[in-house]
Chain A
């Protein structure tokens, strides 16, 4: 039976991240979304009621739904990114729910790294504050295509259009100093449910979509880069069986662009030119493939290709260099060491590097450059230069989230200590 017979098999996937602080109603918003879209089950609700009562609460605390670890429930704070899932007849959603305390920038960056959309909560009573600027900055730095600014707690400002418009203007002023993103503003009350799943009757002046309506309508199909064919090779498939004696396939996931049978390509780092003979997927042959498909490419000529190689369009190649400029978010308690050596992971490629320079740090609350104090610690963001042991094949992060991102790994502890976005 083919998927076409089933409407529900034809849904798109949207990943979004939510950032917010204690008390701005983020957990309530997610809880409300799950509850009103009937994604919370009876046994979860039962467990939630139990937990709320045992903590002395009078009403059901939807925030407890997203705090999964014992320490989180005990301390009443969210420590780590939690992933939540729900679906409507139109879309399947993956929520990366990230805690918004200042010390948890690392979680926000993690949640944002795979998101199509960022949801930023603003308390209508407080307007655009430092934390809002921080969230807006991170959403822009991570190049999240869509931003939904939810002005929450509208019930506490008498559902005032003036308040909403002021916040909209203030946020737009912040955003104008950042990159172009698709920004939407919504007046909501997560607690009462206004404009979350159901349209508010309290704000007739607002004619836009509800929160869920917007999530269902965002054009995620346009988020993929279809311009620049890049195929990082993960693994070489060589069965050496009687049936597939000479089979040599390059397994990987298309990072960007479209690959077609017959296309002239170059394998990096060798730089040798060949053409795509076949695109295989689990016993089937495809005429073309596009992101984010995982496929196996076969090439016409036997050339040197292995894990870490990148197959690219012969007429559209990435940059290559051993000196890379990037923005880095530091993820570890152990501060960044200038002249220190780190392991680099970039696509399927691994190498070592030295951090040669810290150009400046960013004050993420004011979005200003800091030049006098260049020490980079946990949760700080800086512009740095690294020198790698072999050439990196990359595009700028703004153009390509896959070939423009890398992580730095501490060689002693194997911990992931830096998240890099190549300029």
Chain B
């Protein structure tokens, strides 16, 4: 017998695919921002599904802080090669070398904020008129007010108080010269949806998301991965723990979680039982109550 119901994941999938197709139809030079994290992996998977049997009709772009988990880079390169997708990598180090960006100082120094400079320069240089990102509205309260199609002025800035209304499924990408759009195809997904979808679709994930032994240290109650460019305070010491990443970003501001989860089912159980949000250990959000809004206004992801 025929039935006319789809579950919540298939409905989210259908919505995201609709948005991705609108992007390709409405913009001349779209690009998909790819960090190698779970959200961008899911977003890319959706793009693959949206245009099949056509290859993904836009390039991927990674804004590389240089402070990466090695495995992320390998995953990124393999994915691009396997699917025949063009990959653009832009380095924050280049922005620093040319004096466009200045390295932060101090113990909590991070290149997270500097990515905005590199990103906006790349958008201008390569004349992209739309950059898709894996941002989700459930991640953070400034993101909760973000549109699917989010307008950026000629300075790449977001004006949260003056956003264009977005009604029904009518996404409007009209703009003037020099302006661009940020589009967030998985706006309506939660962390749980992302993991359930990865399980349902059996998407291969970097092993960083599963339990592994790693050198870590504890800062302000959060576990951080140890890396050569991280400075330790006198009371912090490196130890080996069983951990996994709940989000993957720049090492300097991505916490790891003590975890024994070694399958997607385990991760889903862990997410369901968790009492802190995934960004709870993101040092970049803890800088102030409006840290994300401020970065987004400037043109952050």
Contact = CB atoms under 8 A, between A and B. Distances in A.
23 contacts: A2-B200, A9-B7, A41-B276, A43-B276, A47-B289, A65-B141, A66-B144, A68-B142, A68-B144, A69-B293, A70-B293, A80-B160, A87-B190, A110-B166, A113-B167, A114-B169, A234-B18, A239-B53, A282-B52, A294-B17, A405-B167, A407-B170, A419-B167
Interface of B: 2, 4-15, 17-18, 21-22, 24-25, 48-55, 137-138, 140-145, 160-161, 163-170, 172, 174-176, 187-188, 190, 192-193, 196, 199-200, 202, 268, 274-277, 280, 289-290, 293-294
A406 B172 contact: no
A25 to B, nearest CB: 20
B8 A68 contact: no
Contacts of B51: 237, 251
A234 B145 contact: no
Given A83-B137, A414-B176, A69 B160 contact: yes
A293 B6 contact: yes
Contacts, number: 194
Contacts of A94: 188
A92 interface: yes
Contacts of A196: none
A385 B274 CA distance: 54
A271 interface: no
A235 B142 CA distance: 32
B66 to A, nearest CB: 29
Contacts of A10: 7
Given A41-B276, A43-B276, A415 B164 contact: yes
B7 A106 contact: no
Contact of B168 (A70, A288, A402, A414): A402
A234 B26 CA distance: 10
Interface in A39-77: 41-44, 47, 51, 65-71, 73
A406 B169 CA distance: 10
A402 B277 contact: no
A347 B280 CA distance: 39
Q: Which secondary structure dominates where chain A touches chain B?
A: mixed
Interface string A90-126: 0110100000000000100110011000000000000
A288 B5 CA distance: 12
B137 to A, nearest CB: 5
B200 A41 contact: no
Contacts of B174: 343, 409, 414
B33 to A, nearest CB: 21
B21 A235 contact: yes
Range of interface residues on A (Cβ < 8 Å): 35 or more
Contacts of A67: 141
Nearest to A65: B141
Interface in A1-27: 1-3, 6, 8-13
B8 A292 contact: no
Contacts of A337: none
Contacts of B166: 110, 416
Contacts of B275: 41-42
A85 B277 CA distance: 13
Interface in A242-268: 243-244, 247, 251-253, 258
Nearest to B54: A239
Given A41-B277, A402-B169, 15 more contacts: A6-B199, A13-B11, A66-B141, A68-B144, A69-B160, A83-B138, A87-B190, A234-B25, A235-B21, A237-B51, A292-B11, A294-B14, A407-B167, A414-B175, A416-B167
Interface string A285-302: 000101011101000000
Contact of B192 (A6, A83, A87): A87
B83 to A, nearest CB: 13
A235 B24 contact: yes
Contacts of B14: 253, 292-294
A79 B5 CA distance: 35
Query: Nearest 6 CB-CB pairs, A to B?
Result: A68-B141, A282-B49, A414-B174, A294-B17, A43-B280, A13-B8
Nearest to B140: A68
A68 B160 CA distance: 10
Contact of A68 (B17, B54, B163, B293): B293
Contact of B172 (A66, A252, A416): A416
Contacts of A224: 4
Contacts of A253: 14, 17-18, 169
A259 B256 CA distance: 47
A92 B9 CA distance: 9
